[in-house]
Amino acid sequence: MASVDSTGSSVSGRLRLGDILYSAVAVVLLLGSWSANGLEISTGKVTSMKAMNGSTVLLPCTYNSCIGIRNLYFNWHYNDNGTMIKLCEGVIPAEGAEPRVSVTHDRVEFVGSTKTQNISILLWNITFEDEGHYICFGRNQKEKNRNHSAIFTLYVVDQIKEIDNTLTVIIVSVLGGVIGAVILIMVIKALVVHFLLKDNEKNKECLVSSGNDNTENGLSGAKADNKGTPKA
């Protein structure tokens, strides 16, 4: 009897272990699916830009969540050599509701809208000191405060260098002139051939007409005159 109980206990233990492993795998899969559909913060495909000193720039940022949002908290920070300076922050209560925004920088303007899932800002009258990394951060309460962030890099320059397209313009002009000359030659050739063919047709018509006239007015009469006088 002891051996039977031991075997039964061993089988029961293996079953419980199998149930635990199965549950763990299911939890991992669910967490992976939740993570894939979680909050995403993005500054777009272009994550950096060059702007002139004294200009106004748009720092783009959008959010997305397949699960939906509730009390989505977001903010913008500027990384000043390791010191994080807050530019603005806000909360979006629910889907479609406009955010409550607090701006903490005198040259920053919030220009986002929940209609486009946009939490972008404008930075006015930039200086060389504004160059660096700007971090857009979001945290979604509906996803147990899942958070995500994206970095946008700003470079401030004295002037935007214009690309010298002189060589390209020259090449395009030359190619255009060559193509135009070839087309003009082809048109002239076609016209010359057309007029030559027309002249040839006229010459042929003149020759045929002249031959017919000679036959009717001269050659037939000459043949008649050359005939001998009929004998009596």
* Rounded Cα distance, 124 and 122, in Å: 6
Q: What is the mean pLDDT of residues 29-52?
A: 76
162 near 54, Cβ under 8 Å? no
Domain ranges of the chain: 40-157, 163-199
Chain-wide mean pLDDT for the chain?
79
| pLDDT at 28 (0 to 100) | 37
* Domain over 40-157 is classified CATH 3.30.2320.50: no
2 — pLDDT class (breaks 50, 70, 90): very low
Q: What is the pLDDT of residues 77-131, one digit of tens each?
A: 999 999 999 999 999 999 999 999 999 999 999 999 999 999 999 999 999 999 9
Using CA atoms in the order 134, 139, 140, 141, what is the torsion angle rounded to 10 degrees? -160
Residue 219 in this model has a pLDDT that exceeds 70: no
| pLDDT at 132 (0 to 100) | 97
* Rounded Cα distance, 228 and 6, in Å: 153
Q: What is the mean pLDDT of residues 53-76?
A: 95
Sign (positive or negative) of CA dihedral 6, 11, 16, 20: positive
- The tokens for 97 are 């509701």
Residue 1 in this model has a pLDDT that exceeds 50: no
- The tokens for 228 are 């001998």
Q: Indicate the burial class of 192 (C-beta count within 10 angstroms; 0-12, 13-18, 19 or more).
A: exposed
Q: What is the mean pLDDT of residues 182-188?
A: 88
> CA nearest 74: which of 25, 126, 45, 110?
110
157 — pLDDT class (breaks 50, 70, 90): very high
